[in-house]
Amino acid sequence: MVDKWEGKKLPDVTLESSDGMRVHLPNDASGSWTLLYFYPKDDTPGCTKQACSYRDNLEDFGKAGAKVYGISSDSLESHKNFIGKFGLTFPLLSDPRHDLSGPLGVYGDQEWQGRVFKGLSRDTFLLGPDGMIRKVWRKVDPTKTVAETLDEILKAART
């Protein structure tokens, strides 16, 4: 099923980055493939598996000409601790006001162990070099999403 965001331009937003920079999207993503993966919380089991998997495969994303950004509602301080603890080698962006996750439908009601709460779902967006959203994955499996996204970038880069 095609997500309603596929084929559309990413909303204009500026987010603080763990590397001390401000990332202006989609402008800072133009010219290369860019993967934006949203995750619920720093230093939790599923989010750690997902982040470490991107870390371990970052060279392959680079060879494919793709940038990778992880995005959550966590603070920059939390991001820096998460990066330090697990040796993450790509920037994490902070979206505490849901400036990007809200419009994209990532932030909202979530359910875990029978509890409903407001938070981020584990969704991933692939931007083309033109800043357009080429592919969306919703509620991904943190152990499988890295291979799926890399395959999609490699396939798209060949066309």
Is 47 marked active-site? Answer: yes
Domain membership flag for residue 1: no
What predicted TM-score, i.e. pTM, was given to this entire model?
Answer: 0.93
Please list the ranges in the chain whose pLDDT falls under 70: 1, 159
Which pLDDT tens digit goes with each residue over 114-135? 887 788 999 999 999 998 999 9
- Residue 132: how many other CB atoms lie within 10 Å: 17
Q: Choosing from 36, 47, 51, 146, which is the catalytic residue?
A: 47
CA separation for the pair 67, 105 (Å, rounded):
22
> What range defines the domain where residue 153 resides?
8-157
Confidence at residue 159, expressed as pLDDT on a 0 to 100 scale: 66
Using DSSP, state whether 44 is helix, strand or coil.
coil
Q: Total domain count for the chain?
A: 1
The CATH number of the domain where 83 resides is what?
A: 3.40.30.10
CA separation for the pair 3, 135 (Å, rounded):
8
